[in-house]
Homo-oligomer: A and B are copies of this chain.
Amino acid sequence: MAQQRVIRVSTEQPTCVVCVVGTEISLALSGCVPKGATYFDVHGTSGLRVKVIYNPELVTKPTGTPRWPLNSDVEVVVGINGPSRAVNDNKVRVSYCGPSGETLASAWLYLTCMAISLDADTSRSGVVQTSTTNKTKWTWGPDGEGAVLLVNCDRDGPSSGNTDNAYPYVRSHTDLQDMSLVILTTEGPAGISDNHTLLLQVSMFDAAKLRVFHAGGNASLSSYEHVLGSDKLSYTVECSGGKEQNSFFVEGLAFPDAGFDGLVSLNATLLEACGQNSPAIPVFSDTVVFRVAPWIMTPNILKPLEVFVCSIEERANNKNFLEAVRALAKEANCKLTVCPEVENRGDRWIQDEMEFGYVEAPHKMFPVVFDSPRNRELQDFPFKRILGPDFGYVTREPENGRVSSLDSFGNLEVSPPVTVKGKEYPLGRILIGSSFPRSGSRKMAKIVRDFLYAQKVQSPVELYSDWLLVGHVDEFVTFIPACDRKGFRLLLASPLACYKLFKEKQKEGYGEAALFEGLEGVERKTLDEILADETVYDDNKYAQSCIDWNRSILKRELGLSERDIIDIPQLFASKGGGAHAFFPDMVNMLVLGKHLAIPKPFGPIIGGQCCLEEKVRSLLEPLDLTCTFIDDFFSYHVWSGEVHCGTNVLREPFSFHWWNIVP
């Protein structure tokens, strides 16, 4: 239904009204019916569409002279075809007639028509189409409509400082490119503005989520005026007549979150003055709805662009580890960025400090780092070193400052695209390690989980990771690319697979072969010793049960079958408080395309080869992947982490556009 405005006519003087193209006028006729009138007739000039709406069960359409009965079963609606060339150039005449057809009086309506359209890139093509319809709803899917807003959380500069959207002015021309263009088109004769005002508006709630700049006439940055946002809820747009276009640039201030579904609206409202002492009142409103683009995570199967690793020189230096990662990054054609000790201050867990993702609008896309609330010595690195031109930054910290190990982002992963019982997740699903619901157990902070859930497009799955001392999902689960089937395999740490392997080797007569051979200061453990140790057995039966519970969740929530899963031999041990890897945790690997950097397990050497490495190679190399085993024993493993915990990867975004999802 078109926007309708009720207008009352009078037989005493013409009623003059300004109306907007695309809307309708519902004529109220009963206000001035002359005595004795029973019928009416109505005519409009050519720029108008005059329709008489009646209930055919109650009213017979007049034939010959169009005379309509004067009662509430007949309504007159006037549509407007296009903007006026002069004030009052469209006219409607209502003739009131007596029973025998004689005209008793006439009422005139003079209409000045104006075109007003507030437009954004609602078709998601990258450019703004003007005079579009269906702007008030935002719909998902390939046939969906609705504009997209980016949180302007990068720092195009010019100088350092905060993210661009912390400043109520346009910082640079590149800053402008992160914003969404809105065009307000008006057309009408001069003279309307005497008693009409056109406002651009935002609601109090939305004003906290966006900021609008009005493009001035020239290219200088200072000509972009901050007109809406925060305490600025409305802005008067000058219309002097003729066809005019005002350009506005809109930036998002906040990501979708608990209590904010991501939708924000801008309104263009026409106000009509109504006497000297009365406030103006609204007579037309056009709305454009935006959805703030979600923060999207990138799974292991996406192409790696840049690897991050810390350089540690003091206690337990990682010199050799760093060189191994550097070599692999080179092979994988990835940039390597080393976070120097002066910045990492001895904190080597760069995986835990941050998670890379991105935001996308049809006109622009840039990566965004999510800074975890863990806040150890690497705390300043994401803001100081990652945030920059076209590289955004977001963080969430619980108000009480209380975080647990489960708030580290080694505990935040994302699956490749999956289809579950017919429901598609083309951007995969987020995996969060959580506790099995029990009083007092550790859980990722609500503020972080709320943020992740609110992004909507990678619907999170909560796994049970609290059985582990550190408690991160990357300690028992990872994904690797595969050229067949679903395009990936799920790798799960498997104590049983390890027992099976060790028993086989024992049976083959290698019971004396030992783990940790040649590692200085580390006690070697023979297969015979390990297989005879009941504590180790109990610990691993427990670990296997916990992983099996997660296996069921993963199969159900990612729609996987056993054939999508590969069991990687691994043993765990229990310290007070939870399980940890007994030898370097092989699933805790770095995935760079076809190159896997796997923690070197220091397993029993049999026939000159580590039997764990040999087993893993035999499982993964048939998938056309190369396995490089990297020694992280003293530099990471003994500190309760491995290769994955000590690295981080910026990856290419999905080619699939998030707005094409139907969540």
Contacts and interface: CB of A to CB of B under 8 A. Distances in A.
Interface of A: 1, 3-6, 8, 26, 28, 31-32, 53, 55, 72-73, 75, 201-205, 231-234, 258-259, 267, 269, 272, 274-279, 281-283, 421, 436-439, 443, 446, 464, 467, 496-497, 500, 535, 538-539, 541-542, 544-546, 548-549, 551-552, 555-556, 561-563, 574
B538 A275 contact: yes
Contacts of A3: 552, 556
Nearest to A548: B6
A274 B1 contact: no
Nearest to A202: B437
Contacts of A551: 6
Contact of A542 (B75, B281, B549, B562): B281
Nearest to A205: B446
B538 A464 contact: no
- Interface core residue of A233, A278, A283, A497 (most chain B CB under 10 Å): A278
Given A278-B539, A496-B31, A272 B75 contact: no
A51 B278 CA distance: 80
A561 B58 CA distance: 15
Contacts of A259: 258-259
Nearest to A24: B552
Contacts of A275: 538-539, 541-542
- Interface core residue of A267, A274, A541 (most chain B CB under 10 Å): A274
Given A5-B552, A496-B31, A574 B278 contact: yes
A543 to B, nearest CB: 8
Given A496-B8, A497-B31, A545 B281 contact: yes
A233 to B, nearest CB: 4
14 contacts: A6-B551, A8-B496, A31-B500, A55-B563, A75-B562, A203-B437, A204-B437, A258-B259, A274-B545, A275-B539, A277-B538, A277-B539, A281-B545, A282-B436
A467 B542 contact: no
Contacts of A233: 437-439
- Interface core residue of A73, A272, A549 (most chain B CB under 10 Å): A549
Contacts of A446: 205
Given A437-B267, A500-B31, A467 B75 contact: no
Contacts of A563: 55, 72-73, 75
A500 B33 CA distance: 9
- Interface core residue of A234, A269, A279 (most chain B CB under 10 Å): A279
A555 B283 CA distance: 15
A274 B542 CA distance: 6
A28 B275 CA distance: 83
A120 to B, nearest CB: 19
Given A276-B538, A562-B26, A439 B31 contact: no
B552 A6 contact: yes
A559 B421 CA distance: 39
A451 B421 CA distance: 35
A231 B497 CA distance: 40
Considering the complex of A and B, which 10 residue pairs feature the smallest CB-CB distances, nearest first?
A278-B542, A275-B538, A274-B542, A233-B439, A281-B545, A6-B548, A72-B563, A75-B562, A201-B437, A31-B500
Contacts of A276: 538
Nearest to A551: B6
Contact of A556 (B4, B73, B267): B4
A439 B574 contact: no
A380 to B, nearest CB: 31
Contacts of A467: 279, 281
B549 A283 contact: yes
A286 B272 CA distance: 61
A291 to B, nearest CB: 19
Given A5-B552, A552-B3, A556-B3, A562 B72 contact: yes
Contacts of A496: 8, 28, 31
Contact of A555 (B4, B53, B204): B4
A206 B8 CA distance: 55
Contacts of A205: 446
A128 to B, nearest CB: 23
Contacts of A73: 563
Given A31-B497, A275-B542, A562-B75, A549 B437 contact: no
A443 B204 contact: yes
A234 B439 contact: yes
Contacts of A272: 545
Nearest to A76: B562
Given A274-B545, A282-B436, A561 B75 contact: yes
A187 to B, nearest CB: 23
A256 to B, nearest CB: 13
Contact of A552 (B4, B201, B443): B4
Contacts of A541: 274-275, 278
